[in-house]
């Protein structure tokens, strides 16, 4: 069932009219509990500032979300739309896998396009999004980036494992980019991983000049792993699609995972397919609408 909501910041005034002065229509969506506010930047005009993102993402005084997704006209002639992603702290990032699935469903549901698959452009390249007959969304995430310079990650040479200095010890990690940088750390028990303790510090580790998403992964067997993620600019989330992809890449490079892997996150399960270096990676998972609403930026009146 769809719910309608109007979100206000600031106090109500007696002079308010039924017509909204400056407002943005939005759709709240989620993919495995990783939640988003999606804004149509094609049929409505606005200027999205970092301050707006922080207000929208606030779970007490705003709508509440991990990230804000913006649908814009494509710049490249061979793409259907431009896909932009903003963290809860207002920073713009290159990639979001769970958001990409929500993007595809939003575009189709809102009537912006009936094309399936869709080709969209991001700050890190193009993506192919396809809604399957079973309702799940398949995303071609492109070729994982393993070159430290391109991740970016400070290392002398590419490797499947790196020793990362941290709190007086060396952590054995993998570093992967899925269009955004990821640090992957294997743990014996994902449920007991020090996500809240280590995550904030590892996110800003000097070895990752653009910060990173931190994945704590537990490999159950060759076809299953458990994962918790500390997301750059958002904190721990219930799911992170690009981090799930990066975790499978790490496990494959370590020789511990098969080509098709079920990744269990706190919010649910994703299916990841990757044959190895040089190949594109596919992610399959759900995307759901939560509700539609109208947002009035702080400082605006009715």
Concerning whether 96 is annotated as a catalytic residue, the answer is yes
Integer Cα distance of 29 and 239 in angstroms: 13
Give the separation between CA 250 and CA 246, rounded to whole angstroms: 6
Spatial CA neighbour of 141 closest among 211, 243, 15, 31: 243
Sole residue written with tokens 């919010």: 267
- Of residues 96, 102, 190, 245, which has the active-site annotation? 96
How many residues would you count in the chain?
302
**Count of Cβ atoms closer than 10 Å to residue 63 Cβ:** 21
Identify the active-site residue in 53, 65, 102, 240: 240
Q: Is 7 a catalytic residue?
A: no
Q: Are 229 and 266 in contact (CB under 8 A)?
A: no
What does the DSSP assignment read for the chain?
Answer: --EEEEE--S---TT--SS-SS-EEEEEEEETTEEEEEEESSSS-----HHHHHHHH-TTTS---SEEEEEEE-SSTT-SEEEEEEETTS-EES--HHHHHHHHHHHHHTTS---SSEEEEETTEEEEEEE-TTS-EEEE--PPB--TTTTT---SS--S-EEEEETTEEEEEEEEESSSEEEEEE-S-GGG--HHHHHHHHHT-TTSTT--EEEEEEEEETTEEEEEEEETTTEEES--HHHHHHHHHHHHHTT---SEEEEEETTEEEEEE--STTS--EEEE--EEEEEEEE--TT---
> Which residues are marked as active site?
96, 240
């Amino acid at each position: 069932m769809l719910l309608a909501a109007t979100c206000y910041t600031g106090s109500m005034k007696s002079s308010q009219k039924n017509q909204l002065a400056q407002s943005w229509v939005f759709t709240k969506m989620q993919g495995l509990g990783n939640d988003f506010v999606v804004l149509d930047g094609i049929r409505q005009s606005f200027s999205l500032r970092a301050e707006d993102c922080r207000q929208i993402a606030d779970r007490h005084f705003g709508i509440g979300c991990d990230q804000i997704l913006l649908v814009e006209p494509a710049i490249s002639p061979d793409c259907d739309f431009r896909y932009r992603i903003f963290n809860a702290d207002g920073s713009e990032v290159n990639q979001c896998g769970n958001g990409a699935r929500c993007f595809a469903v939003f575009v189709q549901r809102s009537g912006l396009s009936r094309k399936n698959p869709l080709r969209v452009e991001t700050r890190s390249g193009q993506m192919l999004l396809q809604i399957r007959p079973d309702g799940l969304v398949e995303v071609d995430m492109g070729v994982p980036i393993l070159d430290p310079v391109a991740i970016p990650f400070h290392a002398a040479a590419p490797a499947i494992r790196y020793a990362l200095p941290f709190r007086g010890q060396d952590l054995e990690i993998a570093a992967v980019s899925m269009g955004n940088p990821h640090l992957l750390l294997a743990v014996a028990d994902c449920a007991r991983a020090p996500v809240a303790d280590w995550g904030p510090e590892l996110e800003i580790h000097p070895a990752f000049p653009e910060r990173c998403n931190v994945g704590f992964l537990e490999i159950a067997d060759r076809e299953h792993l458990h994962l918790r993620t500390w997301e750059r600019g958002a904190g721990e989330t219930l799911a992170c699609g690009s981090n799930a992809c990066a975790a499978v890449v790490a496990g494959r490079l370590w020789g511990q995972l098969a080509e098709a892997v079920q990744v269990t996150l706190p919010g649910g399960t994703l299916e990841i397919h990757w044959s190895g270096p040089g190949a594109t990676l596919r992610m399959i998972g759900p995307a759901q609408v939560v509700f539609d609403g109208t947002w009035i930026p702080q400082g605006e009146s009715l």
